[in-house]
Structure formats: structure tokens, C-alpha cells
Amino acid sequence: MTAWTFEPERGQHRRQLDKMGETGEEMKNGVICGSGKSAGENSACARNISLDALRVLCMFLIVFGHAMVHAHILPGCDHGSSSVAMSLKQIDMAKAAGIKTICATPHFYPHKESVASFITRRNQTADSLWAQIPEDAPRILLGAEVLICDGMERLNGLRELCLEGTNELLLEMPFYRWPESIWDTLYRLNDLHEIRIVIAHADRYPPEAIHQLISEGIPLQLNAECLRKYSHRKRYLEWIQKGYVSYLGSDIHELGPGYYDFDKCRKLLCHYF
């Protein structure tokens, strides 16, 4: 997967290109975003869009159409899937939605187990899935959805929790008002050179907190379903347009509607951009 990260207007992160696996060439050439159009046709359709907006759009459509970051599909690794059979059904749903790469991100709770224990358990569940996965299934990459905890910047092995092929750590924030100690930990994590934090399902947190993260140049991951919420859609589209969003995810648990919104949201993005 090829993931583009653009420098936010008020942020400090530099533009960079991360490689995830061998699918990058496929997405850089020919068809993008599952639209059925060639790169040339997409370029022609976008002639009247500003260069910055076009870059953001291309990034988003590449990620959105072919690769999905944030899914709970590993059987028995967390509450996302209870069996290999359920995981295979989830993968079939992703394939039907045009997804070619899935980043499996089971929950990791630093206060409950060590990184080494989690990695061993995650890999075992991934092996059980790979043993039965069809050859034409989307590619599965490994990562984690890491719950922030006080002092987590001192945790050994953070790099092992990053999305496979990147230095990006998908970070889950609390669903209560963030105390000062959590903010301090967040800023210290953001200062680490070996990892780059990405805020998981940023659409679920108070907008004022997210705007503070944006001002610090911290990138966001949105769940695809958020673009169907008309009352807040303008906010999320603005975040996308300004380059604050690096990834979309389904955040699928069990057989929920995580992939059903993809085609509709893809059309929405093409309409707005």
C-alpha cells in the first residue's frame, strides 16, 4: 500500500511516502480508487481542482479504494472475531467492497499484557487465519490499535506495534475527558523519532480535542461510516481536504456494517473533490 501524508496547514509533520508491501506499484499505476478509470482519465476529470486538493484526493482514493486500515478480523485475538469462519466472512465482505489490502489491528491494552505477549498471540491468530484464507482474498497486514496509557512513551517495543511496513502507531484515545496526564503522554509519544502516531477513529472524539491534535501535526484515521453522518460530514470533508486524514478504516467487529459504506463514501469523495 502506498500512503501519502501531507503537511497540515498548522502542523509540523513533513510530507512522506510510506511503503506497505508490494501493492504500492499496483496503486501507483493504472486504476486507482476502484473507480474503473485509468490514472489519465482521473487526471483529466480533475483538471479544475487545485494541485494541493488533487494530491489529497489521490492519496485518499488510493487508500480508500484498495487498502483499509483498522479492522478487527483476527480470530480470537480480541472481540472483533470469535472464529476463523467469522474472519473469513469479514474478508469476503472486504473483497466485495473492492478492498485489496486489510491492515488487521487488534486491540492492545498496555496495562493488561506485555508487547511480547501480544505479538505472540496476534501472530498465532494470524497464522490460524492464513492457513485457511483463499488465494484470491485481500492481503492481510498486521498492526495494532493501541490504547494510550500514562507514561506509555517509555514502553519497550512500541515499534513492533506499528502498522506493518511503516513506523505508524494507531493510537486509541479514551472516550472520557482526556486528563492532563494523557495529554502529556500524547505529546511525548508525538516527539518520539522511531514512531509516528495516528489517532484511531478520530471522528469519535470531541472536535475541540481533535483540532488541538491537528495543530500539533498529528494525523488522523477516520471510520468510513462517519461520512454518512450528514450533520458532521462538512467537518470530516474539511479535515480530508486539508490533509489531516491519513487513513480510512472500517473498524469492523464481528459482522457489522463496516464495509457496506465504502462505495457510497467513495462517490461522496469524488463529488466533493
Separation of alpha carbons 212 and 199, rounded Å: 12
Q: How many CA atoms lie within 13 A of 35 on its CB side?
A: 26
Q: Does 54 have pLDDT greater than 90?
A: no
CB atoms within 10 A of CB 37: 16
What is d(CA 212, CA 84) in angstroms, rounded to the nearest whole number?
40
Question: Which of 13-22, 31-40, 47-56, 264-273 ranks highest by mean pLDDT?
Answer: 264-273
The residues near 184 (Cβ < 8 Å, ≥ 6 apart) are none
pLDDT digits (tens, 9 = 90+) for 63-86: 455 666 888 999 999 888 999 999
User: pLDDT at position 23, please?
Assistant: 38
Res 26 pLDDT > 60: no
The three-state secondary structure class of 78 is coil
Q: How confident is the model at residue 266, as a pLDDT? A: 67
Share of the chain above pLDDT 70, in %: 70
Region 113-134: mean pLDDT is 96
Q: With the CA atoms of 245, 251, 256 and 261 taken in that order, what torsion angle do they form, in degrees rounded to the nearest 10?
A: 20
Mean pLDDT, range 113-121, rounded to an integer: 97
Question: Per mean pLDDT, which range of 33-37, 155-159, 170-174, 226-230 is the poorest?
Answer: 33-37
Question: What's the whole-number mean pLDDT along residues 21-50?
Answer: 35
Contacts of 90 (CB under 8 A, 6+ apart): 71, 73, 81, 252, 255
Rounded to a whole number of angstroms, the CA Rg of the chain reads: 18
For residue range 231-248, list pLDDT tens digits in order: 888 899 889 888 898 888
Alpha-carbon gap, residue 117 to 62, rounded angstroms: 34
Asked if the model's pLDDT at residue 189 lies above 50, the reply is: yes
- Say whether pLDDT at 110 is over 90: yes
Tell me, rounded to whole angstroms, the distance of Cα 236 from its chain centroid: 15
* Long-range contacts of the stretch 128-134 (C-beta < 8 A, 24+): 128/75, 128/76, 128/84, 129/73, 129/74, 129/75, 129/84, 129/87, 129/88, 132/84, 132/88, 133/88, 133/91
pLDDT reading at 268 higher than 60 = yes
CA distance readout (Å), 170 to 15, 225, 234: 18, 18, 24
Q: What is the pLDDT of residues 124-172, one digit of tens each?
A: 999 999 999 999 999 999 999 999 999 999 999 999 999 999 999 999 9
Name the residue type at position 80. G
Q: What is the model's pLDDT at position 56? A: 56
- Band (262; pLDDT cuts 50, 70, 90): low
Q: For residues 120 and 216, what is the distance between their CA atoms, to the nearest angstrom?
A: 34
